């Protein structure tokens, strides 16, 4: 099945085959990382000769990357648009029993399609993914071309596995997608975050004192992988969504060494059991936030069997600083799940999660506010629903707001209506990958209500040099600044600062009241790590680096935000993580091999490929 999609990509000029031998350690993922950052998302990459230089090993399994990394490939995979799928979901949500025979026939096709949502078990045949079987002493994860993406990753990680689990009584099933660390030839770390169904099932097995079956499938129809990250309600099996979208049931077959069923057309299956009493440190890993995540204890899968087709393909993805493949996966998720979200947030018209806000860090929502406090009510609704509860910063605009794709006009709309009185500073659960909160998976949240109409203020616009000089008189640690949207009612000022054992908020005590009339929203960032003229990466860093309960301060009508790296002086006692930077020597190798195509110095600089650091 996966090969069928590669043939389709090839016909549509969406596939690049790389025969040159490249290392699973850094080289393959670095090339895919750069490919995904091309303006059109680049092409899918098939590496036909993956090697492990350190072990002097060649793999006979090709590696496929950037599978979902362009609008065209997403269209080829889904065979319909996100809007069309959303329309079908909305019709299902609005379904009413037919009142007469005429209505019955009118709704017959709609009802008939529901027969496809349940997976069909194929019990009496040997699936293709069991053409080759390794069990017992023959189990060896290192036979697979598993990648090490970043220099400081703890180990190789499986990044595009479909993780199949079921509840203790077998009545609920789940398909998830999360990273899997290789400990040794037959043990994997399972990065179950607190909100994953797999974690809920795990707790059931732990209370019962029983081992939990887990199977990891790789390959097959790419739609399985997308369904694994879909934000479905607890207890709803993701393969039902697959059947709904494909309009045909997923065909599943039983695994070789545990009772779980996986799709019969997948390429590779890793099967095993989890002892709920055994936890092991997992990480660090450079994740989709663009930062390394901390070392934390997670469950361990003891692999009992590895089965595969005779000619399998090993799919993988690369995560790090945006934009990457998840940009296109996330955009489709937005469209498809809008109708479902609208059912729990009355008045929601649309929403948008920009990739440089790494999705859960920033969301824009367009609402039809009907009464005072309606937008704020919807903010709280968002923070209480499923995976939306992990959103850190929410900006709500009215139905008259410009398109989300018109960044300039949308920003002006928001800033013309910005008022510190219309902010909500709250707290709640955060994504386990969030590094800025003082506590693991729990921290501050910010809501901005820009639905209340234009808000004018007495603002004294200053030339940037004059404003810089005035700020430096108050705070000598300030080095440079850049102003944005100076024609709006609330200009933005990004200030580059060099912190020295004193928190930014402590330094604000030195600010003269007079200068507040020239400041609307002020973001403080570390000068030597930021390009003040690169708003794309500034948004990425600012939304990653702030905790609303700790890092915001309001003075008169001015909002100050500390988006610098945090330390003890800020009341932050966790370890501040490193960023996911490419290794320059690896990029040089790729260039010398002649495989680095369409990568300019401008692109490397724009997306901070090897980090960004100004000279002292």
- Residue 421: CA atoms inside 13 Å, Cβ hemisphere, count? 8
CA distance 238 to 289: 25
Q: Tell me which H or E stretch contains 327.
A: helix 326-344
**Phi, psi angle pair for 413, to nearest 5°:** -60, -50
Residue 388 is given by DSSP the state G
Give, in order, the Cα–Cα distances in Å from 574 to each of 295, 505, 571. 11, 19, 9
The yes-or-no answer on residue 565 being catalytic is no
Q: Which two tokens stand for residue 183?
A: 């400990």
Q: How far is CA 422 from the centre of its chain?
A: 29
Total Cβ atoms within 10 A of residue 407: 14
Who contacts 446 (Cβ-Cβ below 8 Å, separation ≥6)? 392, 393, 394, 423, 424, 425, 426, 548, 552
Which candidate, 447, 457, 515, 510, places its Cα nearest to that of 481? 515
Q: Is 356 exposed, middle or buried (0-12, 13-18, 19+ CB in 10 A)?
A: buried
Alpha carbon dihedral 194, 195, 197, 201, in 10-degree steps, equals: 30
Tokens 């989300």 label which residue? 404
DSSP string, 475-513: -TTEEEEEEE-TTSSS-EEEEEE---SS-HHHHGGG--G
Alpha carbon dihedral 144, 148, 149, 154, in 10-degree steps, equals: 140
- Phi and psi based region of residue 192 (left: phi greater than 0; alpha: psi -120 to 50; beta: remaining): beta
Q: Which two tokens stand for residue 290?
A: 């663009």
CA distance 203 to 347: 37
Which candidate, 403, 400, 561, places its Cα nearest to that of 492? 561
Residue 168 is given by DSSP the state T
CA distance 460 to 587: 48
Task: Say if CB 493 and CB 523 are below 8 A apart.
Answer: yes
**Phi, psi angle pair for 415, to nearest 5°:** -70, -30
Q: Tell me which H or E stretch contains 105.
A: helix 101-106
Which candidate, 54, 63, 56, 70, places its Cα nearest to that of 20? 63
CA distance 48 to 65: 11
- Residue 531: CA atoms inside 13 Å, Cβ hemisphere, count? 12
- Residue 357: CA atoms inside 13 Å, Cβ hemisphere, count? 17
CA geometry: angle 293, 295, 297, nearest 5 deg: 125
Total Cβ atoms within 10 A of residue 454: 11
Q: Which two tokens stand for residue 274?
A: 């989890």
Whether the link from the prior residue into 107 is cis, omega within 30° of 0, is no
Q: Which of 23, 153, 221, 287 is catalytic?
A: 287
Q: Is the dihedral of CA 116, 121, 125, 129 positive or negative?
A: positive
Residues marked as catalytic: 287
């Amino acid at each position: 099945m996966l090969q069928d999609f590669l043939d389709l990509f090839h016909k549509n000029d969406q596939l690049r085959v790389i025969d040159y031998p490249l290392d699973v350690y850094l080289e393959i993922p670095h090339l895919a990382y750069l490919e995904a950052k091309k303006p059109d998302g680049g092409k899918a990459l098939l590496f036909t000769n993956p090697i492990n230089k350190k072990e002097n090993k060649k793999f006979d399994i090709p590696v496929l990357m950037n599978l979902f990394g362009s609008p065209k490939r997403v269209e080829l995979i889904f065979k319909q648009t996100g809007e069309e799928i959303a329309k079908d979901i909305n019709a299902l949500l609005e379904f009413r029993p037919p009142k007469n025979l005429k209505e019955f026939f009118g709704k017959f096709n709609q009802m008939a399609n529901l027969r496809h949502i349940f997976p069909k078990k194929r019990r009496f045949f040997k699936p293709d993914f069991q053409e080759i079987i390794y069990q017992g002493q023959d189990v060896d994860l290192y036979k697979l071309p598993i990648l090490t993406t970043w220099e400081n990753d703890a180990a190789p990680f499986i990044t595009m596995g479909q993780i199949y689990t079921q509840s203790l009584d077998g009545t609920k099933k789940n398909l998830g997608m999360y990273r899997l660390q290789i400990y040794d030839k037959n043990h994997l770390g399972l990065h179950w975050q607190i909100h994953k169904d797999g974690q809920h099932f795990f707790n059931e097995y732990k209370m019962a004192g029983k081992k939990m079956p887990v199977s990891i499938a790789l390959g097959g129809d790419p739609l399985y992988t997308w369904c694994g990250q879909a934000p479905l309600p607890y207890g709803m099996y993701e393969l039902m969504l697959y059947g709904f979208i494909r309009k045909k049931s997923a065909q599943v077959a039983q695994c070789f060494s545990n009772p779980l069923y996986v799709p019969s057309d997948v390429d590779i299956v890793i099967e095993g059991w989890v002892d709920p009493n055994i936890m092991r440190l997992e990480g660090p890993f450079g994740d989709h936030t663009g930062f390394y995540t901390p070392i934390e204890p997670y469950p361990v899968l003891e692999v009992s069997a590895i089965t595969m087709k005779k000619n399998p393909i090993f799919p993988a993805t690369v995560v790090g600083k945006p934009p990457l493949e998840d940009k296109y996966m996330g955009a489709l998720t937005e469209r498809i799940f809008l109708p479902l979200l609208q059912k729990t947030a009355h008045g929601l018209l649309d929403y948008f999660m920009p990739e440089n806000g790494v999705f859960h860090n920033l969301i824009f929502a367009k609402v039809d506010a009907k009464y005072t406090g309606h937008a704020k009510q919807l903010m709280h609704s968002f923070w209480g629903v499923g995976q939306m509860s992990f959103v850190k910063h929410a900006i709500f605009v009215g139905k008259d707001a410009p398109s989300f794709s018109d960044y300039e006009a949308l920003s002006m709309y928001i800033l013309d209506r910005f008022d510190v009185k219309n902010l909500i500073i709250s707290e709640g659960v955060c994504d386990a990958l969030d590094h800025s909160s003082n506590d693991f998976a729990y921290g501050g949240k910010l809501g901005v209500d820009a639905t209340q109409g234009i808000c004018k203020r007495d603002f004294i616009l200053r030339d940037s040099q004059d404003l810089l000089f005035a700020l430096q008189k108050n705070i000598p640690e300030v080095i440079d600044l850049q102003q944005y949207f100076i024609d709006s009612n609330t200009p933005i000022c990004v200030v580059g600062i060099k912190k020295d054992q004193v928190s930014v908020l402590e330094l604000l005590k030195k600010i003269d009241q007079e200068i507040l009339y020239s400041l609307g929203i002020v973001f403080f960032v570390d000068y030597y790590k930021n390009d003040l003229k690169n708003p794309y990466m500034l948004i990425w860093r600012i939304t990653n680096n702030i905790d609303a309960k700790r890092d915001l301060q309001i003075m008169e009508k001015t909002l100050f935000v500390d988006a610098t790296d945090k330390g003890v002086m800020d009341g932050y006692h966790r370890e501040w993580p490193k960023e996911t930077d490419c290794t320059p020597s690896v990029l040089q190798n790729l260039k010398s091999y002649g495989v680095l195509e369409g990568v300019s110095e401008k692109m490397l600089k724009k997306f901070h490929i090897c980090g960004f650091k100004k000279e002292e």
